[in-house]
A and B are shown apart, each in its own frame.
Chain A
Amino acid sequence: MRDQAANFFVAVRQSGWRVIVMAMGFYILLYPVYRSLDAAISHGIHRRGGTYTVDLRAMSDFELNQIDGKTQDIPKPFRDLDGKPVMLVGQMWSPTGAGGKVRNFDLVYSIGNCCFIGPPKVQHFVHASVPTGRNVEFSAAPVIVSGTLHVGVQKAGGAVQSIYRIDVDNVQPN
Chain B
Amino acid sequence: MNVFELVAKQMRQRALSTWLTLLSVMLGVALIVAILILRREGNALFGQQDYGYDVLVGVKGSPLQLTLNTVYHIDKSPGNIPYKTYEDLSHSRLYRRYVKQAVPICVGDSYKGLRIVGTLPSMFGYNDDGARAAEGERFQYRLDRSFQVADGKMFAPDRFEAILGSDVSKLTGLKLGDTFQATHGMPAPNETPDIHKEVWKVIGILRQTHTSNDRVLFIPLLSFYTIFEHGEGEIQRAMLRRGENPLAHPKPAGDEDEVQHYTFRPNGTIDLQLPVEDREVSAILVRSRGEGGFAGQALVYDLNLQPDVMAVNPATVMREFFSTFLDSSAKVLLLIAILVTIVAAASIMTTIYNSVSARRREIAILRALGATRRRILSLICLEAALVGLLGGLLGFVAGHLLGAGGSIFMDRLVGEGFNWISAGAEEWIYLAAVVVIAVLAGLVPGLKAYRTPVATNLVAG
Contact = CB atoms under 8 A, between A and B. Distances in A.
B294 A106 contact: yes
A21 interface: no
Contact of B318 (A98, A103, A122, A140): A98
Interface in B47-97: 47-52, 54, 93, 96-97
A162 interface: yes
B350 interface: no
B228 to A, nearest CB: 39
Interface residues of A, number: 34
B205 interface: no
Q: Give the one of A96, A103, A115, A120 with max B CB within 10 A.
A: A96
B455 interface: no
B301 A101 contact: no
B302 interface: yes
B99 to A, nearest CB: 8
A118 to B, nearest CB: 8
Interface in A127-174: 127, 129, 138, 140, 154, 156-159, 161-162, 165
A157 B96 contact: yes
Contacts of B54: 95-96
Contact of B292 (A119, A125, A159): A125
B143 interface: yes
B388 interface: no
Nearest to A117: B301
Contact of A99 (B47, B291, B295, B296): B47
Given A95-B292, A100-B44, A119-B301, 20 more contacts: A94-B293, A94-B315, A95-B288, A95-B315, A97-B49, A97-B51, A97-B315, A98-B46, A98-B316, A103-B49, A104-B291, A125-B294, A127-B294, A140-B319, A156-B100, A156-B289, A157-B96, A157-B289, A159-B98, A161-B289
Which 10 pairs of residues, A with B, have the shortest CB-CB distance?
A161-B290, A159-B97, A127-B292, A98-B47, A99-B47, A98-B318, A95-B293, A95-B54, A106-B293, A97-B49
Interface of A: 67, 93-106, 115-116, 119-120, 122, 124-125, 127, 129, 138, 140, 154, 156-159, 161-162, 165
